[in-house]
Amino acid sequence: MISLEHVSKSYAAGIPALNDVCIDIDGGEFVFIVGDSGSGKSTLIKLLLKELDPTEGTISVNGYRLNKLKRRQIPKFRRNIGVVFQDFRLLKDRNIYENIAFAQRVVGESNRTIKKNVPQMLSMVGLAAKYRSLPRQLSGGEQQRVAIARALINEPKILLADEPTGNLDNKNAWEIMRLLEEINSRGTTVIVVTHNMEIVKAMNKRVITIQKGVVVSDEKGEIRDED
Interface positions with another protein (CB under 8 A)? 49, 51, 72, 75-79, 83, 89-93, 102-103, 105-108, 110-111, 150, 154
197-204 contacts: CB < 8 A, separation 24 or more?
197/34, 199/165, 199/173, 199/174, 200/32, 200/34, 203/30, 203/32, 203/177
Question: Which residue, 117, 132, 162, is CA-closest to 144?
Answer: 162
Minimum gap (Å) between residue 13 Cβ and another protein: 21
Q: What is the spatial distance between Cα 3 and Cα 83, in angstroms, rounded to a whole number? A: 18
Of residues 1 and 214, the one with the C-beta less far from another protein: 1
6 or 92: CB nearest another protein: 92
Residue closer to another protein, measured from CB, 114 or 200: 114
Residue 216: CB minimum distance to another protein, A: 29
Q: How far is the CB of 78 from another protein (least distance, A)?
A: 4
Sign of the alpha-carbon dihedral angle for 120, 122, 128, 134: negative
115 vs 201, which CB is nearer to another protein?
A: 115
User: Closest approach of Cβ 161 to another protein, in Å?
Assistant: 13
